[in-house]
Amino acid sequence: MSIVVSKPWVLARMYEPDVTIVDCRFELGKPEAGRDTYEQEHIPGAVYLDLEQDLSSPVRDHGGRHPLPDPEQLSRTLAQKGITPETRVIAYDDQGGMYASRLWWLLNYLGHEQAYVMNEGFTAWKGAGYPVAADQPIRVPASYTYTLQPEMLASMEDVREAAGNDEVIVIDSRDPRRYQGFDETLDPVAGHIPGARNKFWKLLIGQDGKWISSDLLADHYKEFPADKEIIVYCGSGVSACPNFIGLKEAGYENVKLYSGSWSDWISYSDNPIATGDEEQPSKE
């Protein structure tokens, strides 16, 4: 079963009792924008989860701009929305799946087995003539018990060690100019983690606004050996989640997220910084 599901797939299941649709729309720099757009209209029955209020914990000295939420708090939030570990959760946004992928990753980190990301997003849903609503659903609180999956997570120390380890691949998911250190718009220090390779997450989205197909995904990541550990990161642990999903869809098993990402890395003054492009290893 694919992680990324189509609009018709969602339409066919949206009223089934074990399905919860979650609106994850968000806009960096405008923290109220996502909830405002949700309150104006959303997929019928969808609940809203906010990147900074629900899917992150407060910013501290370390941990990056969007630290992972406390698992206990996140499980309570899910329970308040009527979500149980058996719920089929379908997440969507209007930003190419970036924020929906964050929820997907967090659910999987909690051990949630049935979580999906809707392809294209809300604007495409509405544009196709599918139903929308402004009413906010009344949800009966549930109980949520989680089992953390620590193998999905890489620490800053893991990334430090990976810099000198040929058996671990580190992938930077940001725009190439941010990766190269030429155009840093969000963090106080420009550059990337030494040794990291650049795979901009938006390359997963085709010109039609849809995620590229599974056979194209395999080609997209073909330079990375499938038997090696891969650590993905971005600016704050959000836009790396689409690459996490893409790698999983392409058949990679040993994938981890450095959740603090670049904004955490630079919070340690002794961490090295690289700029420009990394020399790519020979295919021979």
Active-site amino acid positions: 234
The candidate with the shortest Cα–Cα distance to 47, out of 80, 17, 71, is: 80
Beta bridge partners of 89: 20, 115
∠ Cα 53 59 64 (to 5°): 110
The candidate with the shortest Cα–Cα distance to 191, out of 175, 200, 199, 179, is: 179
d(CA 46, CA 18): 13
Which amino acid is it at 65?
R
Provide the token pair at 86: 């058996």
d(CA 43, CA 22): 9
Beta bridge partners of 21: 90
Half-sphere exposure (CA, 13 Å, Cβ side) for 251?
14
d(CA 29, CA 42): 21
Provide the token pair at 271: 């961490």
